[in-house]
Structure 1
């Protein structure tokens, strides 16, 4: 009886604790929801600002970072209410990178959404300090009416249905959003001042500069992107880059930024460009191993060794050609697939597909055979003949692109490919033709009776 009462008391105590815990969780959830609603209303309601005379709006420019997506720097707006102490940074560069593979696939397909985020100024500065990125701040010279237009546009953008936008690296990013909103606030003066002033640079030139610290990304984009990025761009278009947005807001006739208002909030050493370009690295690597393989070949031939086609020659040859074959294999498959599945028109109708034919992955198998077995790949007689014809066809097609380039028959700027990578590919094709395959001879193992 006593045990039963104890069990009942323990059960009631646990039940009461569960109810109390549930009530606390419910209360905390309710308070969190109310608090978030209040915070959201505080950030998005224009009436929460005091007199516009007391509001300072700053352009913040953040230096490049260590990640690939940080190579083109960043920009944000800081809005400081001196009367209430409210100090918020608005950032149009928020994206979900929790799943890098999914993010990369969405970016590749051209269906990536970014969104507007907002947070206290102190938190933003702490984040960039943690990542060792310099931050420059410039006060914007805006009249009260212009401030009101800008704040109204930001409030509209903060609505849940408007916070996300379809990101585009050139035409709709963190920098162009601020450019467009400032232009709207000053009645289109910024666009009028800059849209017809054509620079001597193209988007391709700016990509090359942006990826000077990542030479292989530079090479890949230079090959994969087509003639759409080769036209000379205006000052208006150039402001997709945060540094150029800041520069043009300082120099444009509208005088939105005066140098005396500039502050360096954080100052860290800039990332230095890699001493060699991706093309130079490929050339040096290829030349070194081809030189080794030919040295072995000539040494054995000079010494009159009976079989001078020894495995060491083929292994050096394979090591030298393997990265070239890998790159060609990926590129030859990626280009046609990109035209079908990607919404990025900058990756379509690329003249470079002439240099990277869809069957280039075969050369990867040849290179692997050289490395692993120290000999040519063995093919049946007819297959061997077709392999040779395939390489001859590839050489002819590749040379046709060289002729078209010399005669200026296409608009795409692939001069770096022609001068740096094209000779290596031609030499590789000649090596594959000469040493890539041999005829497989089936041994007769029958026993004569």
Structure 2
């Protein structure tokens, strides 16, 4: 996919004049839906618009999912949501070539637009492709390669477009919808659930589900054109353009579920022997709570210092808290400060509050954090009740 995007950027100067030299009146407009890829950036699939000029034979694909890898401070802007995406254009053949090389399926839905509607849509895309219009501020849920297409058809067709939404459709939160696509990538799934806050734990409407290409494809299949002669389906015909065998999914042994449970079991054994032998093994606590503190700083950064609305109100902060880093640094010192005992109690309470937030539906956490919460609760409790031993030892054997 990345190589495709880079190629598209290189051919802008050649495609731009072609688009605006066609004055044909007979267009065939299609929605292209592409299967998910193996990498996180392609895990949710892709959507694009195909415009075939039947008179000239010009066959182009309009793609709202392009961004420039050469943008200065690319990763900083991507993290802060200040990176602009753009509308790009390629030939239909080159578009298919890239997806064939990536072994990703492509399906086409030919739309039953009248020629006036088709011309209006093509004009809209041409105007969008002007240099001053082609860039937009990407939002994964509300303004992406799929929703831009949905919004374009709603604008062009207006009241003539009836989404014919299912009233008995399954209710799903935005997080549920994401989980359907990232389960083959367990560490990415863990990272997404760690980074995104409670704001995505609300039910998505049928229209909002169209931020995912597969759901938009299904919505187009249900939709109808009304008030323009006899009511007719939006999709006139559909067919598979590229098809490949589904890859068998086997979860690797090295995944957060197994790794964190092995960690939790190891900590239980460590704590048991520590209580028997009168040793605290605070070296583990220094390392463990330092990592949690750093994660907390990341959560705070995403919450307050980026423009991503989906990273707000992230209650993972209750167990991955920045203050844990200060506590870990304090444990490094030979003289233990009295405030640490109170902090252990606070850490214990916050971890339990995280569990309550999960139980009562305030925010859905990744299932693999259960062993991490158990470790926080166990070690905070252990250090709290062994405070006297920690305080009187000028140097603890780690």
Of residues 423, 427, 438 in structure 1, which corresponds to 2:378?
Answer: 427
1:50 equivalent to 2:24? Answer: yes
Partner of 1:290: 267
Instruction: After TM superposition, give the deviation of residue 340 of structure 1 in Å.
Output: 2.8
Q: What is the aligned length?
A: 376
Partner of 2:86: 115
What's the TM-score once normalised by structure 2's chain length?
A: 0.80
Instruction: After TM superposition, give the deviation of residue 36 of structure 1 in Å.
Output: 7.6
Instruction: After TM superposition, give the deviation of residue 210 of structure 1 in Å.
Output: 2.3
Unaligned ranges ≥5, structure 1: 1-34, 302-307, 367-375, 443-449
Instruction: After TM superposition, give the deviation of residue 396 of structure 1 in Å.
Output: 2.5
Instruction: After TM superposition, give the deviation of residue 427 of structure 1 in Å.
Output: 2.1
CA displacement 1:145-189 (0-9 Å, x = unmatched): 110111111011011110101111011111011111122232244
Unaligned ranges ≥5, structure 2: 1-10, 226-232
* Aligned-residue CA RMSD (Å): 3.6
Question: Partners in 2 of 1:265 and 1:327 — Cα distance?
Answer: 45
The answer (yes or no) to whether the contact 1:249–1:256 under 8 Å persists in 2 is yes
Quick one: higher RCO (CA 8 Å, sep 6+), 1 or 2? 2
Instruction: After TM superposition, give the deviation of residue 242 of structure 1 in Å.
Output: 0.5
Seen in structure 2, the aligned counterparts of structure 1 residues 332 and 377 have a Cα distance that, compared at 3 Å, is same
Question: Partners in 2 of 1:154 and 1:90 — Cα distance?
Answer: 8
Instruction: After TM superposition, give the deviation of residue 50 of structure 1 in Å.
Output: 2.6
Question: Partners in 1 of 2:132 and 2:269 — Cα distance?
Answer: 62
SS at match of 2:158: coil
1:352 equivalent to 2:316? Answer: yes
Partner of 1:274: 251
Of residues 177, 183, 190 in structure 2, which corresponds to 1:212?
Answer: 183
1:170 equivalent to 2:141? Answer: yes
Question: Partners in 1 of 2:107 and 2:290 — Cα distance?
Answer: 42
Q: Give runs of aligned pairs for residues 191-340 of structure 1, distance below 5 A.
A: 193-194=164-165, 199-254=170-225, 255-258=233-236, 260-270=237-247, 272=249, 274=251, 280-290=257-267, 293=270, 314=281, 318=284, 322=287, 325=289, 327-340=291-304
CA displacement 1:290-321 (0-9 Å, x = unmatched): 366468769xx6xxxxxx579xx959x83x99
Question: Partners in 1 of 2:30 and 2:209 — Cα distance?
Answer: 21
Partner of 1:73: 45
CA displacement 1:251-310 (0-9 Å, x = unmatched): 23442225x531232425347373789652343231343366468769xx6xxxxxx579
Which structure has the bigger radius of gyration? 1
What's the TM-score once normalised by structure 1's chain length?
A: 0.72
Question: Partners in 2 of 1:145 and 1:277 — Cα distance?
Answer: 56
